[in-house]
Structure 1
Amino acid sequence: MGINVPRESLVSAIYDDLKGKGLVSPEDRELCIQDINYHLDYLEEAIRNSSPELFEDYVLWADILLRNLGLPEECLRGSLKSMEKVMLEILDDETASLASSYISGSLRKLEMEHKPPSYIRDQPLRDLAEKYLELVLNTEAKKARALIISSLNSGVSVEDIYLHVFEPVQHEIGRLWQTNQISVAHEHYATSVTQMIMSELYPYIYPASERKNLRLVAACVNNELHEIGIRMVSDFFEINGWDSVYLGASTPPEDFRKIVDELKPDLVAVSATMTFNVGHVKSLIKLLGEVDDSPPVMVGGYPFNVDTELWRKVGADLHAASASSAVRVAEEFLKTE
């Protein structure tokens, strides 16, 4: 089920309601309309997948972001209330009632404590993670690289670097951006440094284990640019003896289908980080189902961890909540086929 009203007219009506309440000024019109569209993107995706959790999670994230930008709490709450009011007025009864229940649920969630904690806390390699974070935030790529290579040469495994350094540091960088402590430029730089270092680690990956005569094809779904997670997954399979074919970010679906048809992998891994890309995952899985002897599809990424049943809703065969669990989940599944 979707919202079967032209987006432009829906956004215009919501903006007019906000303006009538005195919650926006004419000079803020463009930014306000942009935010309304974001809210609707997430709400529609949540409704399509019968997942109020997806919208509630987005609203909590947006609240933290907006408040740390110095906007009043009523900014987001007012937008949500206007969305609900307009939808109840102009949508069909069933869709309006459903949208209203999702929005009301998110407003209740906003009353709960939802301050994001640091992702670097008591954990293995905490000191290493803290030092690495400091270096990438100080734009010291060479020192960050040297730190990781030195750790590997001293006996730290690639798996532990991925799990206890790269993964928590990337999450922490996202939190620092969300709370307005670093800029988008800092976030992009830190991510690019981690990607650069990862590309240099293959000498530590390939000799890691005996080969298993199993092949994985892995990629981000089209429109998805957050690729570090699925790249880690691909590398974990390689470390564990698989032949991993990593296609990268935003892979066109037809090209994805063709290479799966050509390579006949034992497993396909698809990732989406942004909730509004879940629909692309569902469409891709359907497309891959047209391949002769189509392989099982494993999905992963943030929205699939928010709603732990979402993988079933998009038609996937299995789901891994993390890079560290992906190989185990896949091999257990293949043994039962």
Structure 2
Amino acid sequence: MSTSTPPHIPHARDVQRAADQLWHAVTGGDEYAATEVVLRILDEGAAPESVLLDVIAPVQGRVGEEWAANRISVAQEHAATAINERAVAAVSVHPVVRTTATRGRIAVACVDGEWHALPARLLAEVLKLRGWQVDYFGAQVPTAHLIAHLHNARTDAVALSSSIATRLPTAHAAITACQAVGVPVLVGGAAFGPGGRYAVLLGADAWAANARAAADRLAQSPLPRPQPDHQQFDDLPHLADQEYTLVTRNSVTLVRTVFSVLEDAFPTMRSYSSDQRERTAEDLAHMVEFLATALYLDDEELFTGFLTWTAQILEARDVSARSLPPALKLLARELQDFPRAVRILKAATCALTTAPSTVAGTTA
């Protein structure tokens, strides 16, 4: 009879304690402490999937929340993310996570232009733990390169990740291209909206709210293979008005024109430093990019949500959000011949000026 002591299986409080310790390590810039946290709880018997999704993933979510609240800087956010990536790597090479591929083959990639790779990396590691052969491509994967891989590999499904909504037109192209060569697509990430509403609109074969749900869905049953002649672009008939195309094509000119007259509509801008003026130009560029995406999807809520979020971010940084309604009004003036764009801009202006914040009542 063995006299060895069975491993201690950590309880939820142990997992939470590990998450707290990892948080202190990543915000302190200590990658060695971070890897020690995840390796220790693995040695104590924690399931590797739980370490990935109940320790590392919540800490990364908290990093984003702290950045939004202006409690950590962009540099600190990047450093924390890099350390979390090291923690994932430490988990992936631990002896207890070595598994043999007994299921099919999944390609995991971020949409072209999407730099937030950690959610996709977490999914790739979870799928490996569950017995899948995984081809992980990381951030910003050009669609042409992804399709080239599919032509040379017997891939059962593609898992596409995107956190930023402005990448949705590119995601649509990637989804359609994968389906055109007969490979189904599962999508995930904040870009696809609450409940995956944009995943449905863009014709994805499946959507998952997180890595655990994605792995569960892939284990449940194979995603049906689309027909080789599958096309999805016809499902967006509103694109026929060319508003999305024209706004995208003329975005630089549009930003430059609005910026040149914004200080007349918002006199406070005249006292801005060169750095503040540069940030304002960047905000305008983001506004136009999100407007174009809203036109692509024909969804004003996407743009309205972005503007209210932007106002919150500015206020958290002690920057007045009162420049937003005048900027929206100027954009509407420039796009007066674009009825969908004007409707979206007016909805966002209404949302800002009726919100219980310092933005309200500033357009008079």
Name the TM-score, length of structure 1 as normaliser: 0.60
Q: Matches of 1:317 and 1:206 in 2, distance apart?
A: 33
**Residue among 245, 251, 261 paired with 2:151:** 261
In the alignment, structure 1 residue 248 sits paired with structure 2 residue 141:
no
**Residue among 177, 188, 191 paired with 1:300:** 188
Letter in 1 for 2:211: A
In the alignment, structure 1 residue 175 sits paired with structure 2 residue 48:
no
Please give the root-mean-square deviation of Cα atoms over the aligned residues, in Å.
2.0
Name the TM-score, length of structure 2 as normaliser: 0.56
Which piece of structure 1 moves more, 156-165 or 169-178?
A: 156-165
Report if the CA contact (8 A) 1:217-1:268 is conserved.
yes
The aligned counterpart of 1:72 is: none
Give, in angstroms, the shift of residue 157 of structure 1: 1.7
Matched length: 214
Question: How do 1:203-218 residues align onto structure 2 when only pairs under 5 Å count?
Answer: 203-204=93-94, 207-218=97-108
Alignment partner of 1:197: what SS?
helix
Q: 1:279 to 1:206 in 2, by over 3 A?
A: farther
The aligned counterpart of 1:75 is: none
In the alignment, structure 1 residue 158 sits paired with structure 2 residue 67:
no
**Residue among 70, 83, 99 paired with 1:193:** 83
Report if the CA contact (8 A) 2:91-2:97 is conserved.
no
Give, in angstroms, the shift of residue 238 of structure 1: 0.6
Report if the CA contact (8 A) 1:269-1:297 is conserved.
yes
Question: How do 1:1-337 residues align onto structure 2 when only pairs under 5 Å count?
Answer: 125-204=15-94, 207-291=97-181, 294-334=182-222
Higher relative contact order, structure no. (Cα contacts within 8 Å, ≥ 6 residues apart): 1
The structure with more radius of gyration: 2
Letter in 2 for 1:286: T
Residue identity (%) = 25
Alignment partner of 1:289: what SS?
helix
Report if the CA contact (8 A) 2:48-2:97 is conserved.
no
Q: Matches of 1:288 and 1:277 in 2, distance apart?
A: 16
Give, in angstroms, the shift of residue 220 of structure 1: 0.1
TM-superposition CA deviations, 1:177-229 (whole Å, max 9, x none): 10010101110001001112212322337855553240000100100000110
Q: Matches of 1:317 and 1:333 in 2, distance apart?
A: 12
Alignment partner of 1:151: what SS?
helix
Letter in 1 for 2:75: A
Give unmatched runs, 5+ long, in structure 2. 1-11, 226-364
Alignment partner of 1:173: what SS?
helix
Q: Matches of 1:272 and 1:229 in 2, distance apart?
A: 9
Q: Matches of 1:140 and 1:332 in 2, distance apart?
A: 39
